[in-house]
Amino acid sequence: MIRSVRRFAGAPAARRCAAAVLAAGVALTTLTACGSDSGAQTLTWYVNPDGEATNRATAERCSTDGYDIDVQLLPTDASQQRVQAARRLAAEDTGIDLISLDVVFVPEFANAGFLAEIPPEYTEQATGPDVVGGIADTVQWNDKVYAIPQWANTQIMWYSKSLADAAGLDMSEPVTWDQIIDAAADNGGTVGVQGKKYEGYAALINALVMGAGGEIATNLEAGVDADITIDSEAGDAAAAVLEKLSNSPAGQPDLPNSNEGTVLPYLMDGGGFMMNWTFVYKGAGYTEEQLKDLGWAMYPATVAGEQARPPVGGIDIGVNAASDDLDAALAAAACITDEQSQIDLAANDGLMPAKSSLYESPELTDAYPADLLALFRESLEQGGARPVSAVYNDMSLAIQTSWHPPSSVSSSTPSSSKQFIEDVLGGEALV
C-alpha cells in the first residue's frame, strides 16, 4: 500500500532548517541553503559528488513556482554515504526530501521504511522495459517500487593498445583474467583493479564469482537466513584470480589500497589493463596522445568459455518517507531522473543513462565513439548485480573482511568466508 501523502502544511522553512542543522550537527551560522529567495518551499536533495555541477543545473531546471530544489553533498565514499543517509532517515529528519542512493542500498532502506513508495504514475519511468539491464531490479523491494534510476554504471576493461598488440592478444574476442595477467606480466605492464577494503572490492569479488557461473548468496528474501553460496567452484575460481594477480608482477604495488582513481595513471605510464567504470573516457584526464592508445573491451571472463558478468552500479533517487511534502518530493524525483537529466549526466560526466533508448540520442552519439556506447550498453545488459538484499551491507562488510588483503586470498578463502558471512548475519561475529 502506498503510504498516505502528508501534504506540506505551511511548515516554516526555519523548522525544516532546524531539523537539518540538528541532524547534521552544523552551526546555524554556516547553513545557507534553508531559505528560498522566491518564497517557495525548499526541497532538499542530498547527492553523491559524481556529476555535482550537472545535478545542480538539473535541480534548478526542475524547481517550480511551488518549490525550489536545494542540493547538498553526501560524502565521496559510498559506505559513508550510506551511514549518513541511514542516520538521518532513521531519525525521520524532515530536512531531507530526496536522496541519491547507490543501487545496493535501496532494498535495505526500503525494508526499514525509510523510503516512500513510488506511485503508479512514475513506476513506468522507474521499471519500464526501456530501463537497461537489471537496473530496474535495484529500485524494487517486496514487489513494490521505492526509487527511480537516475544513471547506470558498469565496468569495462580499459587497456593500452600498444601492450595488447605486443602481447599478441586479439581484443575483439573474449579474454580471460589469466590471459591479461600473463600478458601484462610478460610485457612490463600491470592490471588495475579495486583492491582496497571497501565496497568497490566487494563489487570485484561478486563479478569474479558470477563470471564463473556462481553467486555469493541465494534465497535473498530470507534476509539473515539467506543461503551463502560463495563456497563453490565459482568461489574457488574467483579466489584463484586474486591469488594469481597478487603474486604476479602485473599486480600494482598499491593493490591493497587501490581504488578507481589510483589505477588511472598506471594504465598510461606503464601500459596494461584496467577494470573501471564508464567515467574513464570523459573523466580520467588523459591527454589526446594518451587517448590514441586507449582501448576498451568487455570485462574479462573468470573462466574460459563462461560469459563475463561485469560489475553494475549507478544511482537511484529515493524520497524520504518522512518528507513534509511527499507529492512535491515525488514529482521532483521524477523530474531529476527524466531523460534530459540522464542525457546531461552522460554527456557531461560520463555517467551513463539508465534508459536503453537514450544511448542512441544525438547528444551521446556526438560525445562518444559508437563502439564504446554499444559496449557500455552491452556491459550493463550482461552485468552481474550484487545481491539484492535488505542485509546486503552486512554481507558486503563480511566479504571485504574475509577476502582482504588480496594477498591473503587462497583456495581456503571461499569456505572460511562463507562461515564468517553466516556468523555476521547470525549475530555471532562482528565486522
Closest CA to 412 of 209, 217, 236: 236
Which burial class, exposed, middle or buried, applies to 111 when counting CB atoms under 10 A from its CB (0-12, 13-18, 19+)? middle
Rounded CA separation 263/258 (Å):
7
Burial pattern 382-399, b for ≥16 Cβ within 10 A else e, equals bbbbbbbbbbbbbbbbbb
Three cell numbers written together for 424: 555476521
Rounded CA separation 143/235 (Å):
30
Closest CA to 355 of 334, 371, 373, 377: 377
pLDDT tens, the chain, 431 aa long: 333 333 223 333 333 444 443 444 333 333 333 445 667 899 999 999 999 999 999 999 999 999 999 999 998 887 888 999 999 999 999 999 999 999 999 999 999 999 999 999 999 999 999 999 889 999 999 999 999 999 999 999 999 999 999 999 999 999 999 999 999 999 999 999 999 999 999 999 999 999 999 999 999 999 999 999 999 999 999 999 999 999 999 999 999 999 999 999 999 888 999 999 999 998 888 998 899 999 999 999 999 999 999 999 999 999 999 999 999 999 999 999 999 999 999 999 999 999 999 999 999 999 999 999 999 999 999 999 999 999 999 999 999 999 999 999 999 999 999 999 999 999 999 98
Rounded CA separation 396/203 (Å):
9
How many C-beta atoms lie closer than 10 Å to residue 83's C-beta?
A: 14
How many C-beta atoms lie closer than 10 Å to residue 299's C-beta?
A: 26
HSE-up (13 A, CA, CB side) for residue 86: 17
Contacts 24+ apart (CB under 8 A), 17-24: 17/95, 18/95, 19/93, 19/94, 19/95, 20/44, 20/93, 20/95, 20/96, 21/95, 23/87, 23/88, 23/91, 23/93, 23/95, 23/96, 24/88, 24/95
Closest CA to 67 of 40, 96, 45: 40
Three cell numbers written together for 77: 565514499
Rounded CA separation 393/85 (Å):
14
Task: Give this prediction's pTM.
Answer: 0.88
List the beta bridge partners of residue 158. 274, 296
Query: What was the pLDDT predicted at 78?
Result: 79
Three cell numbers written together for 258: 587501490
Contact 197, 205 (CB under 8 A): no
Query: What was the pLDDT predicted at 268?
Result: 86
